[in-house]
Amino acid sequence: MESTLRWIVLIPLIGAALNGFTVRMMPRKLAGIIACSAVGISFLLSVRLFIAMIGMDVADRSLHDLVYTWISFGGIQIDVGFAMDQLGVIMALVVSGVGFLIHVYSIGYMAHDEGSNRFFAYLNLFIFAMMMLVLGENLIMLFVGWEGVGLCSYLLISFWFNDEANAAAGKKAFIVNRVGDFGFLLGLFVIGVNLLPHLNPGEGLFAFSVLQHHAHILAPAATVIGLLLFLGATGKSAQIPLFIWLPDAMAGPTPVSALIHAATMVTAGVYMIARLNFLYVLSDTAMLVIAIVGAATALLAATIALTQNDIKKVLAYSTVSQLGYMILACGVGAFATGVFHLMTHAFFKALLFLGSGSVIHAMSNEQDMRLMGGLRKKLPLTWPTFIIGTVALAGVFPFAGFFSKDEILWKAFSDGNIWLWITGFLAAGLTAFYMMRLVVLTFFGKNRASDEVKSHIHESPLTMTLPLVVLAVLSIVGGWIGIPHFMGGGNHFEMWLEPVFNSSHHGAAHAAAAHADHAAEVAMEWTLASASLAWALIGISLGTFIYMKKIAIANAAKRFAGGSIYKVLLNKYFIDEAYEKAIVNPGYKFSNGFLFKIFDKVIIDGILVNGSAFVVAVTGSLLRLFQNGMVRFYAWGLFAGVAMFIIYLQLAS
C-alpha cells in the first residue's frame, strides 16, 4: 500500500510526458482525456489511502515510501522518498481533487486553442510538482517541488507568450519568486550547518522526522531559520513584500488562475510553515512576524480589491488577502485552522475563478466589469454558483468560509493580540463589500457591452459548468467538518490534524487562561462569531445597495479628497512603481554600466564563450590532420606506432 505514494506523484508526470512528447500528433480531445485521467487516478489513489488511514490507529497514520538513497557521503544522507500523514493526505486530496475539476473545466475552456495539448502537459506537470512538494519526505524534495511549481507557473502564466503583457507577467512571477527562494536556500543552509554534526549514521539530513526529533538542536537558530524560510513563503504565498506577482498572473488562461490560486502554488508557503510547525514554535519572534505580515497582507490586498475593474484582478487580490488569513493563523500557532481555511478557500476560490472564466467566455474574452452587467439571466448555471462562492468567501453562515475564517479570527483574538483580530475583522468586511460590487457589476443591471458582444452571450458547455456545480456543493458543505465545539460540533478537521501539530504549544499560556472559565470562553466565541457574521452581512448589504441603487455614492467616494485615495488604491499603493524605481531601474543601469559591460564582453564573451570555442576549433583542426579518411595514411600510422612500441620495449630492457 505504501508504494501507492509514488504513483500518486508520478502518474501526473506520466500524463505530462505523454502529452508533451506527442504535442503535435495527439488529438486535442484525447490530450484532455489523458490529462484528466492522470489527475483523476492520482485523486482516487489519495482517496484510497485516506480511507485506509481512517481505519488505522491514530499513532499509525503515517505511510512511508522510500524509493532510493540519492546522496550518501560524509555523514550526509538524502533520500528520494514520499511520506503521507494526516496533513499530507489532506493536501493530496485538495490538490488532486480540485485540480481534477479544473482539468475537466479546461477541456471546454481550451477547446478551440491550438496550444491546448501543450497546455494540458503543463497542467499535469504542475500537479506533479505540487504533489512532490506536499508528499516529499524531506525538505530537499519539498524544495524540488517548490521550484517545480515556480517553473510551471512561469510556463502557464506566459502560455500566450506572443502577447508581451503575458510574457512580462510570466517573467515577473518567476523573478519575484527567485528572491523568496534565495531566502529559502539560505534557511536550508543554516539547518544543514547546525544539524549535520549531531546526526546519527543513517539519519536523513533534511527528513522531516529527523528535523522534528532534533528540533532542540535547531532552537538557538530557530528565529533565523524561520524567517529565512518564511521569506520563501512570502514569494510562493504572495505576502508582503513579494505579493506583486500574483495579480499579474491573471494574464494566463483562467483555469491557470484557478489552479494557482486555489489548489497549488500559492498554498505552498502555508503548507511549508504548517509542516515545520515544530520548528516555528521555538521562536516567538518568527511567529509574531508571520502573524503581523499575514494580517497586514489581508487588509492591504482587501483595500486594493475595492477599486479594481478587471474581474480576475479583484479575485486575485482576494486570494492575496485570504492567504494573509492563513498565514495569520499559522503565526498565532493555529496551524490546523490555517490548513482548514486553505481547504475551504480552495473550494470557493476555484469556483469563483472558474465562474469568472465562464463569464469571460460568454463575454467574448472581455474582463472589464464596467462593460458587463445583466448576465444573471443569460448564465443560469454560472450565476447561482458564483453567488454561492461569493457568500462562502464573505464568511456567511453556514457556508464553508464562515467556519474557517471565523476560527482564524477567534484564534487571533484568543492569542491576546487584539490588533491582529481588528485587522482581520476589517479585512473580512471589505471582502464582503468588494465581492458584492463584483457580483452587481457583472450580473445585475443592464449589459454595457457592445451589440456584437451581446449577440454572442451564452452559457458555457457542460464540461465547464459541471465543475462549477461540484465546487458550489463543496463551498456549502466543505466547512461542516470543522464546526467548532462552541456550536455543538466536534471540529473533526482539527481533531484529524491534532497528531501532526501536537508538539505546537505556542500561546499555551493564552490557551490556559482562556480555558480557565469555559462558560466565559463560549460566550465570547458566540459574541465574536455573531459580530463576524453581522459584519459580513453589512458588507454584502452595502455593496448591493450602493452599486445597485446608489451608484452616486461610489462616484462621490472616488472624488473624496480630490480622488487621491481612490487613485492610490486603484494603482495598488504604487508599490510596483516603487520597486521599479528602487530595484528594477538601478538593476538595468548596472547591467548596462561600463564595468558590467567589460565583465560581460571580456570575461563572459571573450574568455569563456569565444575562448572555449577557439580551443575547440584549434583542437579540431589538429585532429583533422590525423582523421583524414585515407587508408594508406592509417596503415603507415599503424606501422609507425608498432615500430615505436618495439623500440620502446628494446630500450626498456
Q: Is the pLDDT of residue 513 over 50?
A: no
User: Which of 327, 340, 348 has its CA nearest to residue 229?
Assistant: 327
Judge if 473 and 597 occupy the same domain.
no
Which single residue is written with the C-alpha cell 491582529?
A: 420
Rounded CA-CA distance 647/653 in Å is 10
Q: Contact, 329 vs 403, CB < 8 A? A: no
H/E stretch holding 477? helix 462-477
**406 and 489 inside one domain:** yes
The set of long-range contacts for 589-595, using a CB threshold of 8 Å and a minimum separation of 24, is: none
Q: Are residues 625 and 531 in the same domain?
A: no
Q: What is the Cα–Cα distance from 348 to 389, expressed in whole angstroms?
A: 5
Last residue of a domain, one of 524, 549, 574: 549
In a domain, 40, yes or no: no
Task: Tally the domains of the chain.
Answer: 2
H or E element, residue 84: strand 76-84
Q: Are residues 626 and 532 in the same domain?
A: no
Residue 378 — φ and ψ, nearest 5°?
-80, -25
Phi, psi (5° rounding) for residue 217?
-70, -35
Who has greater pLDDT, 579 or 650? 579
pLDDT for position 583: 86
Write down which residue in 549, 583, 613 finishes a domain.
Answer: 549
> Phi-psi category of 572—alpha, beta or left, where left has phi over 0 and alpha has psi -120 to 50?
left
User: Looking at residue 301, what is its pLDDT?
Assistant: 95
What residue numbers bound the domain in which 641 lies? 593-652
The whole-number average pLDDT for the span 312-316 is 93
Alpha helices in 415-450, H assignment, sequence order: 418-443
Amino acid at 104: V
Instruction: Give mean pLDDT, residues 5-13.
Output: 93
Tell me if 29 sits within 8 A of 87, measured CB to CB: no
Clarify whether residues 369 and 487 are in a common domain. yes
In this predicted structure, the answer to whether residue 136 has a pLDDT above a threshold of 80 is: yes
Q: Which amino acid is at 453?
A: V
Q: Which residue has the higher pLDDT, 560 or 86?
A: 86
Examine residue 445 and state whether it is found in any structural domain, yes or no.
Answer: yes
Q: What is the pLDDT of residue 217?
A: 92
Q: How far apart are CA 27 and CA 481, in angstroms?
A: 42
> What band does 595 get if pLDDT is binned at 50, 70 and 90?
low
pLDDT score of 512 more than 60: no
Residue that is last in its domain, among 517, 549, 581:
549
**Dihedral sign, CA of 338, 342, 345, 349?**
positive
Of 75-89, 483-497, 522-536, 629-643, the least confident: 629-643
Amino acid, res. 504: S
In the block, which residue shows the cell 606501422?
A: 639
Does a structural domain hold residue 437?
yes
Global confidence as pTM: 0.87
Residue 503 has pLDDT above 60, yes or no: no
* Grid cell of 287 as nine digits: 511567529
Determine which of 41-50, 250-259, 515-524 has the lowest per-residue pLDDT on average: 515-524
Query: Which tens digits make up the pLDDT trace of 376-429?
Result: 989 999 999 999 999 999 999 999 999 999 999 999 998 888 999 999 999 999
User: What confidence score (pLDDT) does residue 516 get?
Assistant: 53
Per DSSP, the three-state class of 524 is helix
Task: State how far the Cα of 640 lies from the Cα of 84, in Å rounded to an integer.
Answer: 67
pLDDT of residue 382: 93
User: Cβ distance 114 to 258 under 8 Å?
Assistant: no
Number of H helices, E strands in the chain: 31, 2
Cell of 373: 452587467
Q: Answer yes or no: do 604 and 503 share one domain.
A: no
- Considering the domain architecture, whether residues 441 and 537 belong to the same structural domain is answered as yes
Cα(631)–Cα(577) distance, rounded to whole angstroms? 71
What would the grid cell of residue 106 be?
Answer: 479546461
Alpha-carbon distance of 413 to 425, in angstroms, equals: 10
pLDDT at 300: 95
End-to-end Cα spacing for the chain: 69
Q: What is the mean pLDDT of residues 591-602?
A: 73
Q: Do 483 and 384 reside in the same domain of the chain?
A: yes
* Mean pLDDT over the full length of the chain: 88
Quickly state the pLDDT bin for 562 (edges 50, 70, 90): low
- Beta strand segments in 176-328, E: none
Residue with cell 487580490: 317
In a domain, 294, yes or no: no
pLDDT score, position 114: 84
| Percent of the chain with pLDDT strictly greater than 90 | 53
Write down the pLDDT at residue 451.
85
pLDDT of residue 653: 61
Specify the pLDDT at position 484.
87
pLDDT in tens, 262-301: 877 888 999 999 999 999 999 999 999 999 999 999 999 9
Point out which residues pair with 81 in neighbouring strands: 66
The pLDDT assigned to 228 comes to: 96
Grid cell of 138 as nine digits? 524531506
Percent of the chain with pLDDT over 70: 96
pLDDT 10s digits, 569-591: 888 889 989 988 888 888 777 77
Higher pLDDT, 315 or 76: 315
Task: Please check whether residues 355 and 460 belong to one and the same domain.
Answer: yes
d(C-alpha 456, C-alpha 472), whole Å? 26
Residue 362 CB-density burial (10 A; 0-12 exposed, 13-18 middle, 19+ buried): buried
d(CA 46, CA 450) in angstroms, rounded, equals: 47
Same domain, 516 and 611: no
304 in a structural domain: no
Residue 504: its pLDDT value, please? 56
Is 629 part of a structural domain of the chain?
A: yes
Of residues 535 and 198, which shows the higher confidence score?
A: 535
The residue behind cell 467616494 is 557
Residue 565 lies in a domain: no
CA distances from 446 to 68, 259, 546 (A): 62, 32, 16
Confidence check: pLDDT of 222 > 90: yes
Q: Residue 509: what pLDDT?
A: 43
Q: Which residues contact 344 (CB under 8 A, 6 or more apart)?
A: 392, 400, 401, 403, 404, 475, 478, 479
**Domain assignment present for 150:** no
Residue type, 228: L
Q: Which of 535, 571, 550, 567 is nearest to 431 (CA)?
A: 535
Instruction: Kindly give the pairing relationship between strand 63-73 and strand 76-84.
Output: antiparallel
Residues 448 and 522 occupy one common structural domain? yes
pLDDT at 164: 84
Claim to verify: residue 545 and residue 632 sit in the same structural domain: no
Q: How far apart are CA 51 and CA 48, in angstroms?
A: 5
pLDDT single digits (tens) 98-112: 999 999 999 988 888
pLDDT band at 349; cut points 50, 70, 90: very high
All residues at 6 or more sequence positions from 485 whose CB lies less than 8 Å from its CB, including other chains = 491
Q: What is the pLDDT of residue 44?
A: 96
